[in-house]
Chain A
Amino acid sequence: MATGQVVRSEWTKIRSVASTVWTLSTAVVVTIALGMLISALSKNEFDNLGEREQLSFDPTFISFAGTSLGQLAMIVFGVLVVSNEYSTGMIRASLAAVPKRGVFLFSKLAVATALAFVVGMATSFATFFLGQLMLGDLRASIGDDGVLRAVVGGGLYMTLIALFSMGVAAMLRSPMLSLGILMPFFFLISNILGNVSATEKVGRFLPDQAGSRIMRVVTPVDDDTPYGPWGGLGIMALWVIAAVAGGYVLLKRRDAQ
């Protein structure tokens, strides 16, 4: 059983359903459009900010403001890629054809992750340049210290979010259940935990909060986050590894239903 065959098959599967195009294009459009909007608003608001806020002003990070919403489409993409197999029952045909379940799962994740990576990177660069265009005089340049790292990191962040969702969907199998857990988690719970002072210290170890650190160039004044940009992405990667490993173990052990 050549892995190449399975990868080719997964590519056929992913390109032949409409949901791939819809979720990924939504992620691109929402991330870029919201990033541009917030950038334009921030530019107009800059003069009203206090000295402290002006010192912490991070034009790169602001242009990535759309990520918080665009990542939700990325999550839908990741969930659907995996849970489609279960909701349609196709999983039985797939696993009958690929009895080595690890090969099946990792080929599927590899194809979907590669696609998410390409789309995520393109989105990240586009949203950076278009966001800076909106920021006018306040803009950062791609050559500035740490900016290229942040832009590449933005693409990696999107990719890891998609992969995390795939891992969770592989564990939960049902698309409704997976989305019902992931959507509120990333949209609400993570934000609440991160903004309430009592839980702030826990909240910053959640995958999205830790991972989004990579997109910051200017460290906010009196910031006490115990990790740097790459450390944050590393924490996110640990979450991703845990989710994918959980999905793999369950797929391996469970009956294919």
Chain B
Amino acid sequence: MIEAVGLTKRYGDKTAVYNLSFQVRPGAVTGFLGPNGSGKSTTMRMILGLDNPTAGHVTICGHPYDKLPNAPRQVGALLDAKAVHGGRSARNHLLSLAQLSGIPARRVDEVLGVVGLHEVAGRRSKGFSLGMGQRLGIAAALLGDPQVLLFDEPVNGLDPEGILWVRNLMKALAAEGRTVFVSSHLMSEMALTADHLIVIGRGQLMADMSVRDFISHNSADFARVRTPDSEPQQREKLSAAITEAGGHVLPEQDGALRVTGLPLPRISDLAHDHDVRLWELSPHQASLEEAYMRMTQGAVDYRSTVDQKEGLQQQLPPGTQPPMPVPGQGQPGWYAPPPPQQGGQPFAPPQAAPAGPYGAPPAPAAAPAANPYAQPPQAPQSAPQSAPSAEPTKSEDAR
């Protein structure tokens, strides 16, 4: 249980965190969302007693961190995966941290196995990829088998398989009754991982609710209706009928209609009654990413401007084909995640019985059967979900 009351942190005249109060409960994954620079890491550091709050206080299990008895056995944290002496081997890095907390050296090899780094344990961490570094940081957090876990951007730099592994690890840890607090700037990732959400922008609390509530509060369902392209009068007729029945119609660029306020069967009935043929009638949900963007719009610190050099790029030499646009891309609803509360488990469940509570894939070469959380290859419906998260994940690395 983490409890923050009126937490405020100022650096000079810049306020990083202002009057933040929240609770992080055990037994659930709590996502901590906010744009870059919104104060997530500062809050995490204050929880760990690394930064002193300007005002307010934060406690773990009722104690401020530095008064917590045997803190490293109760709290584990991944703050910055790159915070490792590059000349030190992974094992020695973990060993020094284990010895700090009186954790037996045997545990070092255990956690190296859990995160799948046992084969490179003797190598200097200088040569580690971003993903390996991230795994090393997670290993350090798990070292003390703590009841409270904090992860700052744990999926940064991980490949899709690693992201899935982290997601399942978080859930497994929470299922064991631990308190899991995960920060991220990716709504899509949190929607899949977290049970509860704390959203901040410019250091202030914007939302503190369960993911389910967040979804129902912030995403409007809509139906996409398409009438035959060749008969525009049918489209007009249907629009009028829907409006008359109390629905809202929003024409889309490609000629389809976005309808809100009416259930799908009702739209179908209306079309039938007015003798309009339908080419498409599909349920959609505005993505959480959009809802989150709307919420934090006013609170983004680093916004990009239009590049003045845009469009000045040299013409393609004659004869070469410009890259083909992917059909449907960029249109609303493309990549829209299916509603998690209806679809149940968004990802395919593990096929084999799990070998350990949160075993990691031991090595990329290992057979999929050895990895209890590996995504079965035949799960195509889940691919679009992770796709939008894969690319933006890397953007924060460049900071």
- Chain A interfacial positions (CB closer than 8 Å to B): 1-2, 5-6, 8-10, 12-13, 16-19, 84, 88-100, 255-256
Contacts and interface: CB of A to CB of B under 8 A. Distances in A.
Interface of B: 45, 48-52, 65-68, 70-72, 75, 77, 79-80, 82-89, 92-93, 95-102, 140
A93 B140 contact: yes
B86 A88 contact: yes
Nearest to B11: A255
Contacts of B95: 9, 12
Nearest to A20: B87
Given A6-B100, A16-B89, A93 B83 contact: yes
Contacts, number: 94
Contacts of B99: 5-6, 8-9, 12
Contacts of B96: 9-10, 12-13, 16
A100 B101 CA distance: 12
21 contacts: A2-B102, A9-B98, A12-B99, A13-B85, A16-B87, A16-B88, A16-B89, A16-B96, A88-B85, A88-B86, A89-B83, A92-B79, A93-B83, A93-B140, A95-B50, A96-B75, A96-B77, A97-B72, A97-B100, A99-B65, A256-B51
Contacts of B85: 13, 17, 84, 88, 90
Contact of A18 (B72, B82, B87, B101): B87
B101 A255 contact: no
A208 B221 CA distance: 76
A89 B100 contact: no
B79 A93 contact: yes
Contact of B50 (A16, A90, A92): A92
Contact of B88 (A2, A8, A13, A255): A13
B97 A100 contact: no
Nearest to A10: B96
A99 B102 contact: no
Contacts of A8: 99
A99 B100 contact: no
Contact of A5 (B71, B86, B102): B102
B86 A255 contact: no
A94 B101 CA distance: 10
Contacts of A17: 85, 87-88
A177 B65 CA distance: 31
Contacts of A89: 80, 82-84
Given A97-B97, A255-B45, 10 more contacts: A1-B70, A5-B102, A10-B96, A12-B96, A16-B88, A88-B83, A90-B85, A92-B45, A92-B80, A93-B83
A202 B51 CA distance: 40
Given A17-B88, A99-B65, A255-B50, A90 B83 contact: yes
